[in-house]
């Protein structure tokens, strides 16, 4: 009997992307017996050191992987879900959403300091406008500055011998995946800094026409994660915003008194200078995840979210 041909998994070449892709490849092989080989795909977002907002925001790390899929050069691709545009990609299917890592943000600071212990004027770096806006809105007098680079490069800005910052804020999920949690000085409470929609989640895509790969990837699916992410990204889509907008959303699942899955959704929009912000929340059936996201977005828009997102940067 001929062994199954390896599946080709397209991935960015950064340490975090390779680690995430390797986890997916290993899980897929363990569940199906089908070997998976990684294929490195270079993206413009990886090659450029411009800020995300200057690069064009959402999709800057995704386009090259999707093009490789559509050309048949790879059979599947793994993305950080929060990097995906909210609009579907013609010819491609989001075949699996694996179990999610902790979605919260994490502080890596000099001298083991927490956010509240940083002195006024402390320089804090982050690559996300959402984090910049929320950190400024805390009123701690921090000097929040934009940074780029991989996880270790960013951490070195606060901890290395040539450190020029007092702290950096990163996604806890990425630090966990590459075994850097020991450097975290505080995991940030979502009441202070609400995570990005889909933060901590992965998205596994393949060609819509490739029924074999779609069926194989189904073993990786986590329905709870997909429901939460669907609600969070519905907020983003209804606000017509992308990953470079100061929009945050976080969903959690629980059971109602009848044992049915219930979803609790929070979202916020914050002016990039931190001068104002709007938060809202609602609860509803998990089967209506996307509708709940649209409903919460409509509430935020009614309360002036569009004006906050348009605040000059």
Catalogue the active-site residues.
83
For 148, counting Cβ atoms within 10 Å of its Cβ (0-12 exposed, 13-18 middle, 19+ buried), the class is middle
Contacts of 11 (CB under 8 A, 6+ apart): 17, 18, 20, 21, 38, 39, 40, 41, 65, 77, 78
Closest to 280 in 3D by CA, of 238, 219, 221, 217: 238
Tell me phi and psi for residue 89, to 5 degrees. Answer: -100, 120
């Amino acid at each position: 009997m001929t062994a199954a041909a390896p599946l080709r998994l397209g991935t960015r070449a950064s340490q975090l992307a390779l680690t995430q892709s390797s986890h997916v490849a290993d899980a897929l092989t363990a569940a199906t017996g089908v070997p998976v080989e990684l294929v490195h795909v270079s993206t413009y977002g990886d090659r450029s050191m411009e800020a995300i907002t200057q690069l064009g925001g959402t999709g800057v790390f995704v386009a090259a992987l999707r093009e490789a899929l559509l050309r048949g050069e790879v059979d599947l691709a793994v993305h950080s879900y929060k990097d995906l545009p909210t609009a579907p990609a013609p010819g491609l299917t989001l075949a699996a959403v694996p179990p999610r890592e902790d979605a919260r943000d994490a502080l890596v600071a000099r001298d083991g300091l927490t956010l509240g212990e940083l002195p006024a004027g402390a320089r804090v770096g982050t690559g996300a406008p959402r984090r910049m806006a929320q950190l400024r809105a805390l009123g701690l007098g921090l000097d929040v500055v934009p940074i780029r680079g991989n996880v270790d490069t960013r951490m070195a800005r606060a901890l290395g011998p040539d450190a020029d910052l007092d702290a950096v804020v990163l996604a806890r999920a990425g630090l966990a995946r590459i075994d850097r949690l020991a450097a975290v000085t505080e995991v940030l409470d979502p009441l202070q800094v609400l995570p990005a929609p889909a933060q901590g989640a992965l998205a596994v895509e393949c060609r819509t026409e490739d029924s074999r790969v779609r069926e194989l990837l189904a073993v990786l699916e986590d329905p709870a994660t997909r429901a939460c992410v669907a609600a969070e990204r519905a907020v983003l889509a209804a606000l017509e915003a992308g990953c470079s907008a100061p929009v945050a959303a976080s969903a959690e699942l629980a059971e109602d008194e009848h044992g049915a899955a219930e979803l609790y959704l929070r979202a916020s929009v914050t002016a990039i200078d931190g001068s104002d912000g709007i938060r809202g929340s609602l609860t509803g059936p998990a089967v209506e995840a996307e509708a709940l996201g649209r409903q919460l977005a409509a509430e935020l828009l009614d309360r002036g979210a569009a004006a906050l997102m348009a605040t000059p940067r």
